[in-house]
Amino acid sequence: MSIVSATKYYSGHSDVMGGSLAVNKKVFNKVKMAEKITGLRLGPDDAYLITRGLRTLDVRLDRHSENAKKVAAFLSKNKKIQLLYPFKKNSENYRMWKKYYSGASGLMGLKIKSSSANSVKKFVNSLKLFGYGYSWGGFESLVLHQEFRETGKRKYMNLLKDEHLVRLHIGLEDPKDLIQDIKQALRYLK
């Protein structure tokens, strides 16, 4: 079974809610029955918007990836930030990424070392080119400060008391502009 959010990269414009579900023959009838009972279906307008986005998916993903690589290269030089991005050779999951993938998306995490949660919030709030939100995969860059309780019990997220998680989605803007925006916001990290 494979479940994919079409709200994200498929659509590419953050203006639709949808998803896809691919199953084998064994589960197909159960899924079909559940669909009949719940009445969940994708509307024609949403289907059109997702189809429109799929036409440019490869071009957009290439751009997201290239932009994210440039932003990641900049961020990896900062001593207060541990970059969580599997495309980077020194990252924890690089080997697994290299085995299964040929590209990367625009989504990355920043584990920021700071004794002040307020300084991390100021960093996030001072970003001018990044919107605030979860709808990763659209054309615009987004940022999200994740509270400690939101990280759950994920093994890889052993955040210490002075560590904070910020998620970045790198959009289609000029990466030089995004880097400049991040650079001006870094002054708030204490």
- CATH number assigned to the domain comprising residue 132: 3.90.1150.10
Closest CA relative to residue 133, chosen from 14, 3, 2, 18:
14
Q: What is the pLDDT of residues 15-34, one digit of tens each?
A: 899 998 999 999 999 999 99
Q: What is the pLDDT of residues 47-102, one digit of tens each?
A: 999 999 999 999 999 999 999 999 999 999 999 999 988 877 777 778 888 889 88
The total number of structural domains that make up the chain: 2
Question: In terms of domains, do 89 and 159 share one?
Answer: yes
At residue 32, the 3 state secondary structure works out as: helix
Residue 31 belongs to domain spanning: 2-54
Using alpha carbons, list the distances in angstroms from residue 146 to 24, 106, 174.
36, 17, 25
pTM attached to this predicted model? 0.87
Q: Cα angle at 54 between 58 and 139, to 5 degrees?
A: 70
Contact 87, 100 (CB under 8 A): no
Question: In terms of domains, do 105 and 138 share one?
Answer: yes
Question: In terms of domains, do 61 and 50 share one?
Answer: no
